[in-house]
């Protein structure tokens, strides 16, 4: 049976019942547990469903066009390591800014700290945060359709209402000379503001982001601690000179 077929069966069954057990899917598709597990992981990353212990359930919010393509599923494991490490930096009682975007999103399941407050401009994060009973605030602003990030003046003013112990920022590109950059200037502004209002800044950038540049500058390297999975000493060297960097090993 082809992968897309199986995925369709899974989603259909899920839509029908709300929740499905793994074993039901094994039976319905006559594939092995392993295969179904892989399917579920993939579909979860595409935000088509939510895995739960023993099976899967519909997403609380009906994520329509929100699905992310294959490329998001690629560096998954590395990104998750980064997210996990980042989440471990959060301490009980911290006030956190959590940037919109998938990398920051992945931190949420790994957050162990209690009594924290989280401010975010990522609408996609809300369900996950609330499900964990985390006190959640959002910045307000204009809703950027493609990513469901909040941007614009409203978001800027929203961020300014708070002060953070730590902020976690996702970026598209990190470069020794050009610093942190991201394609959308409006988003860059929000990120910068959050950084300025935070005691500590952590920039989440997997190895594919290093030595890259995009359009809008967020800040210089020295403004944040980079968390990455790049291990090549040669590539890392110039960054180590200019800022602090934490390398997460798999």
Interface positions with DNA (CB under 7 A):
1-3, 6, 21-23, 31-35, 37-38, 41, 51-55, 77
Select from 15, 21, 74, 222 the one that contacts its own copies (CB under 8 A).
21
- SS3 category, 194: helix
Contacts of 175 (CB under 8 A, 6+ apart): 181, 210, 211, 212, 213
Closer to DNA by Cβ: residue 19 or 123: 19
Hey, which residues between 132 and 191 contact its own copies (CB under 8 A)?
132-133, 135-143, 145, 150, 152-155, 157-158, 161-162
Crossing angle of helices 3-17/33-45, nearest 10°?
Answer: 80
> Taking each helix axis from N to C terminus, what angle separates 152-160 and 185-196, rounded to the nearest 10 degrees?
10
Binding its own copies (rule: CB under 8 A), the pick from 131, 220, 232, 241 is: 131
Residues in 27-66 that interact with its own copies by CB under 8 A? 45-47, 52-55, 57, 61-62, 64
Q: With respect to DNA, which residue has the nearer C-beta, 38 or 117?
A: 38
Q: Answer for the pair 202, 71: CB distance below 8 angstroms, yes or no.
A: no
Binding at 95: pick from DNA, its own copies, none (beta carbon under 5-8 Å per type): none
Residue 24: CB atoms within 10 Å: 15
To the nearest whole angstrom, how small is the minimum distance from the Cβ of residue 208 to its own copies?
A: 29
Cβ contacts of residue 98 below 8 Å, gap of 6+? 104, 107, 108, 118, 119, 120, 122, 125, 129, 167, 168
Closer Cβ to DNA, 6 or 144, answer by number: 6
Which of 123, 197, 213, 236 touches its own copies by CB under 8 A?
123
Out of its own copies, DNA, none, which partner does residue 92 contact, by CB within 5 to 8 A per kind? none
Q: Residue 81: which of 54, 110, 53, 43 has the closest Cα?
A: 110
Closest by CA to 116, choosing from 102, 99, 100, 136, is: 136
The contact set with its own copies (CB under 8 A) reads 2-5, 8, 18-19, 21, 45-47, 52-55, 57, 61-62, 64, 123, 126-127, 130-133, 135-143, 145, 150, 152-155, 157-158, 161-162
């Amino acid at each position: 049976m082809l992968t897309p077929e199986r995925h369709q069966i899974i989603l259909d069954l899920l839509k029908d019942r709300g929740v499905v057990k793994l074993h039901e899917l094994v039976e319905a598709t006559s594939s092995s547990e392993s295969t179904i597990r892989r399917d579920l992981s993939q579909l979860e990353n595409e935000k088509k469903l939510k895995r739960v212990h023993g099976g899967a359930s519909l997403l609380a919010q009906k994520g329509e066009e929100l699905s992310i393509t294959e490329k998001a599923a690629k560096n998954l494991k590395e990104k998750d390591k980064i997210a996990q490490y980042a989440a471990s930096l959060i301490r009980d009682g911290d006030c956190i800014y959590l940037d919109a975007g998938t990398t920051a999103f992945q931190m949420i399941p790994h957050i162990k700290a209690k009594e924290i407050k989280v401010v975010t401009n990522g609408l996609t994060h809300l369900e996950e945060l609330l499900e964990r009973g985390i006190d959640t605030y959002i910045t307000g602003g204009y809703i950027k359709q493609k990513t469901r990030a909040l941007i614009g003046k409203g978001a800027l003013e929203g961020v300014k209402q708070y002060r953070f112990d730590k902020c976690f920022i996702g970026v598209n590109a990190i470069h020794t000379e050009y610093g942190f950059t991201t394609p959308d200037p409006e988003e860059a502004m929000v990120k910068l503001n959050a950084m300025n209002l935070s005691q500590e800044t952590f920039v989440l950038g997997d190895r594919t982001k290093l030595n890259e540049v995009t359009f809008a500058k967020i800040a210089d390297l020295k403004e944040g601690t980079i968390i990455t999975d790049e291990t090549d000493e040669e590539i890392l060297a110039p960054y180590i000179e200019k800022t602090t960097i934490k390398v997460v090993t798999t």
